[in-house]
Amino acid sequence: MTSLDYAYAKDLSVESIREAAERWYKLARHNCDTGDELRQFAMRKIGPDVFDGGTATAARARAQQLAGRFDDAAEEAELISRTLHNACDDLDVCALELRSVVDAAENCGYLVGADGSVRFNTAAYAEAAIPPEVHDGAQSWARQIEAILDRMREIDEGTDRTLRTLIEEGTRSQFDADRVSSALFDHVLSGNATTDEVYQWWTSLPQDMRDEILRDDPDMVAWLDGIPSVDRHTANMRVLQEHVLNNPNDVDAAALLSDMANSDNLLLGFRPAEYETRTIGHGGGLIGTTEANIRVSDWQVIVATGDPDQADNVATFVPGTDSDRQWGSVDEGTKLQIERAKNLADEAQLYAPDQSTVAVMWLAYDAPNGVLAQAPDPQRARDGAADLNRFIDGMGSVNQGDNVRQTVLGHSYGSLTVAYGDQSGGATSADAIVVAGSPGFNDAVDSARDFNVGAENFYYLEAEGDMVPSTPVHGSNPGSPLFPGGTELTTSTSGHSEYYQRRTDDIMAMAAVIVGDVGAEHIENDHNAGRAYPDLGPRVP
């Protein structure tokens, strides 16, 4: 790289730097493969089952040592490659912005000189007659150009410092073995670490290293349960911002980004929808075939109404059918689910103002699309169960307050995911479960007693006119005589979608559960909580 002035920046091409980054990446892969080959050689040719004794032991140790050196070189080369790629990406963005500013200035009648200076095209005025605002406009355009050049210089200098540090200090990678246990790091990335171990690893890192990961490799920790929520928010916002920048036609992601920027919410998870280009048509007739982008997976989003790590009460809300398709253009879109979580948190805060309550909208599973098309299949709930369980455990690992209370709430199909989550991997950190408009729990549980939170901590709501609980698609609903042991909460709404409206009996009863203060006024009187009902068959709607 060279010094950056306007003459250089206006025609900037980073292709040669990007080529260098690719060469460093290939070198990293080569060193990694060589290390693996050495380890395989040590096991195949001089392994303990082939050759034993002191000489063999020493030879194996030497092979492992050399393999480790190749691993170190691979990590350093990969970091150099990533540093160069990041610089190219950032400079490309600045160069595009610079061209846009210059074009806009010229369209307004200004001339941009070879040195970046700006003056008005005086052909339309006598020199003495040029209005003051024209001079002011030239200065404004010049300041915008200089600000972009300053950012490009900062990128250039920052990249130079990083590369010099690698060369001068011989740093293995940003995860230097002298600063963090590589064994624990490998264990975390393997996916086998507990959320407590993830939290232990993350908090053992120096702050500058955490900042570097969040800036340069946010995907690494964006979905890592056990990471503090504020850091997880930083990582996911970086992922979301880059996605919106690179995918300007994704209006849903742009709407989410705008909502996050204008609220105090934390983004604890974001995966964009995925598309594949497929050939449509059979090739005959007038239409023939055409290429189309087909949506193959919906997005996944986790949003908290505040910092759950600092809360006395945490309510994790799991939405149901159609909640992950779009932002707000369908009846059960993601925007509505965030609003429902906000209503839960606000109502609980009113109920117990001396306690802090945060709600989390957890949409990190593939919710079904269509009541008839996909909702009858329980597999989506089963697939999301372990992730829900681990997420709740992760919040428990980070929020280590002695009295933090965790409640998990599921609406409609989301209640099935909650049930499977409760049964996934044994007991979770949850203290209570609340389901609303549940279609049943399939083979997850047969009664309230089967929940790990205990029958006394299982609550359900069934509003008048809600037909979903009476549809035996997923077995007996929690209000059925065939599903004994739960406590029914009072409702004042009707239908399937109004449970989370503010100042209703429904949401006030749920708020009481969230803060752990359920009274007789919150319990439906026409059901006996905890009673073992006789086998009378499904309830008739």
In this predicted structure, the answer to whether residue 56 has a pLDDT above a threshold of 60 is yes
Mean pLDDT of all residues in 47-75: 71
3-state secondary structure of 246: helix
What element of type H or E holds 297? Answer: strand 290-297
pLDDT of res. 277: 61
pLDDT of res. 341: 98
Q: Give the Cα-Cα-Cα angle 76, 82, 85 (nearest 5 degrees).
A: 145
How does the average pLDDT of the chain come out, rounded?
83
* Model pLDDT for residues 85-98, shown as the tens digit of each residue: 888 888 888 888 88
Whose tokens are 């209006």? That residue is 251
Please answer whether residues 360 and 348 qualify as being in contact, where contact means their C-beta atoms are separated by less than 8 angstroms.
no
Q: Which of 485, 473, 484 is nearest to 443 (CA)?
A: 473
Cα gap 420→410, rounded to integer Å: 11
- Which pairs count as long-range contacts for 499-507, CB under 8 Å and 24+ apart, including other chains? 499/411, 499/436, 499/437, 499/461, 499/463, 500/339, 500/340, 500/343, 500/344, 500/411, 500/436, 501/343, 502/343, 502/346, 502/347, 503/347, 506/436, 506/461, 506/463, 507/343, 507/344, 507/347
Cα gap 338→335, rounded to integer Å: 5
Question: HSE of 465 in the Cβ direction (CA atoms, 13 Å)?
Answer: 9
**Single-letter amino acid, residue 234:** T
Q: Which of 317, 316, 312, 318 is nearest to 405 (CA)?
A: 312
The residue ranking higher by pLDDT, 287 or 460, is 460
* Model pLDDT for residues 444-503, shown as the tens digit of each residue: 899 999 999 999 999 999 999 999 998 878 888 898 888 988 999 999 999 999 999 999
pTM of the model: 0.64
In this predicted structure, the answer to whether residue 539 has a pLDDT above a threshold of 50 is no
Region of residue 322 (phi > 0: left; psi between -120 and 50: alpha; otherwise: beta)? left
Cα gap 425→216, rounded to integer Å: 33
- pLDDT category at 177 given cuts 50, 70, 90 is very low
* Model pLDDT for residues 120-160, shown as the tens digit of each residue: 776 655 555 666 666 678 888 888 898 889 888 888 888 88
Cα gap 138→162, rounded to integer Å: 37
**Single-letter amino acid, residue 450:** D
Mean pLDDT of all residues in 200-212: 85
Mean pLDDT of all residues in 430-436: 96
Mean pLDDT of all residues in 62-80: 79
Mean pLDDT of all residues in 338-360: 97
C-alpha dist (Å) from residue 505 to 36, 489, 495: 63, 9, 14
pLDDT of res. 279: 62
